Structures are given as structure tokens and as C-alpha cells.
Amino acid sequence: MGEEERVAALATAQQVLGVTFRKPQLLEQALTHRSLLKEAQQNRESNERLEFLGDRVLGQVVAEHLFRQHPDWSEGQLTKIKAVAVSEATLGTAARELGLGDLIRMARGEQQSGGRDRSSILSDSLEAVIGAIFLDRGLRAARLFVLGALSRQLTRIEEQQQGKDYKTVLQELTQERHKTTPHYRVIEERGPDHEKTFVVQVRVRSRLLGTGVGRSKKEAEQAAAREALEKEEPSA
């Protein structure tokens, strides 16, 4: 890429992200996937160090947002919702909405294998951009960018929690932690047909996470998911 193309690409990236950099080279590094450096045999840095920094800034901003917006939520609720909000799946969706995939500099092979739409690359690159903004413009600018970029996702996640959609929250958490979804199974039906009570267990792989009771299967599943979320964070 020639110098004029490089400058034009960085100008486009700043316009897409809505941030003007004092040091555009930080943004360039944030958008450089390690595959490009391997392919070109360059000694320049990829976005991995900025990703490390951005991950910490992102966590702080989201934790502060949830803490201030939801004074009635317990520490456990805050921890679990934050985990969903900063997950690879959530960040990947936010990055797609920003059009970040088109801005990332990567090797041709990585691009041909679908790298521009891969959640792991998108989420890492978004964190790197956050790190670059923090270094270039400070915490306030990074906070504004994070809350803007994740606005739709944060609203959806918070509404699900407030609406007590425990199944959705648990599913997103287990997808992030274990790359799989929870499985619900009716283990008992009590009472006559017109007054049945269902007992449901929810598991991830073979591990029992919670048990719920309800007048319908859906109600029992929600109760099981709630118990799972109220326990320690699910682990493999």
C-alpha cells in the first residue's frame, strides 16, 4: 500500500469510527492483524498489545456504566451481565454494526478464509481500537466510544435482565464461557393434567447448573436458568 492509499485508508477509518486521532499510527496498529505482519515479514507491531489494553479499558467502562445505571442490582448480577456485555459474541456484533471488518488490515489468506467476519478477530480488533483511543484521546473519549459502539447491545442485555429473561442471559453466558448452549430437560411432572407442575434441570455438557419448578415447561426452564445464574458463574 502506497503512502497516499495508507493516509486515505486511515482517514476513512477515522470517519467510520467517529474519532479523530492525534496519532493516526495508533489506529493503524489497532487495525493490523498479526497475519499481515507474518505474510509481509514486517517487524512492525500488530494490534495484540493494544487489544490487551483495550480489554481493560472496556471492562472498566462497562462495569462503571452498569454500576451507575442499576443501583438495585447485586454484585452477582453486575458480574454476570458484564461478562455477557464484554463477550466475544457481543463485541463481534458491535464491530459488524460499525463496519470494522472492512477496515482491518490482514493477510490475503486470512481474508479469504472469512477473517473479516470472524467474531474472534472482530472482537479483538474492537478492543485494540478502544486501547488506541484511550492512549490517543484519554479515558473520556474511550468511554464515549465504548458506550456508543455498544449502545444497542447494552440496551438489549439490560432489558433482558430487567425483564427476567434468564434463559437468554444464561445462553449468552455459556456460549461465551464454553462455546455451547445450555440443555433443558423435564425430569418430573407432578399433579393431574389440568394442574400439572413441571420440574426442569438445566445442564451445560454434563454439569448440572440449576433446577426449576413451574406451572409450564417455559416457567420451569426460566426458574432453572435463574437458579443457575444465581449460583457461581458456570465453569466447565
- Which is catalytic among the residues 28, 51, 55, 227? 55
Vertex 231, ends 228 and 232: CA angle to 5°? 115
Q: Which residues, 6+ apart, have CB-to-CB distance to 191 below 8 Å? A: 197
Given a cut of 60, whether residue 234 has pLDDT beyond it is: no
Residue 111 has pLDDT above 60, yes or no: yes
pLDDT at 227 over 70: yes
The reply to whether 55 belongs to the active site is yes
pLDDT of 236 = 40
CATH (one of 1.10.1520.10, 3.90.1150.10, 3.40.50.300, 1.10.3720.10) for 3-161: 1.10.1520.10
If one looks up domain 181-230 in CATH, what number appears? 3.30.160.20
Predicted local distance difference test score (pLDDT) of residue 41: 56
What mean pLDDT do residues 122-148 have?
97
Average pLDDT on 52-75 reads 95
Among candidate residues 58, 34, 39, 44, the one with its CA nearest the CA of residue 129 = 58
pLDDT band, residue 77 (cuts 50/70/90): confident
pLDDT class for 26, splitting at 50, 70, 90?
A: very high
Residues of the chain with CATH 3.30.160.20: 181-230
- Residue 178 C-alpha cell reads as 464454553
Residues paired with 190 in a beta bridge:
197
| pLDDT > 70: percent of the chain | 94
Of the candidates 51, 110, 124, 127, the residue annotated as catalytic is 127
Q: Cell digits for 45?
A: 507491531
Residues 6+ apart with CB under 8 A from 149: 94, 97, 98, 126
pLDDT band at 169 (very low <50, low <70, confident <90, very high): confident
Burial of 96 (0-12, 13-18, 19+ CB in 10 A): middle
Residues of the chain with CATH 1.10.1520.10: 3-161
Q: How far is CA 67 from the centre of its chain?
A: 18
User: How much is the average pLDDT of 128-143?
Assistant: 97
